Amino acid sequence: MTKPDGRRLPEKKELIEFLNKCWMTHDAMWFYSCLQEFGLRKANKMNKAAIRSLAPIEVNRIKKFLGMEKEQIETYEALKNFFSGASELCIPDFMNVTMSFPKKNILHWEFKPKDCFAYKGMKNIGVIDDYECGVMYRVGCWIESLKIKYDVNPKIERCLMLDNPNCSGDFSLYF
Mean pLDDT by 10 residues, the chain (175 residues): 81 94 95 98 98 98 96 95 96 95 97 95 96 97 98 95 95 98
Q: Which of 111, 125, 112, 119 is nearest to 162 (CA)?
A: 119
As a residue count, the chain comes to 175
Q: Burial level of 57, CB count in 10 A (0-12/13-18/19+)?
A: exposed
Distances (CA, A) of 62 to 41, 89, 105, 107, 117: 31, 8, 21, 18, 22
Into which CATH architecture does domain 12-174 fall?
Answer: 2-Layer Sandwich (3.30)
In order of 32, 97, 116, 134, 148, the CA distances from 84 in angstroms are: 30, 13, 20, 20, 16
Q: What are the sequence ranges of the domains in the chain?
A: 12-174
Instruction: Note the pLDDT tens digit of each residue in 134-153.
Output: 999 999 999 999 999 999 99
User: In this predicted model, what pLDDT tens digit does every residue of 55-80 receive, in sequence order?
Assistant: 999 999 999 999 999 999 999 999 99
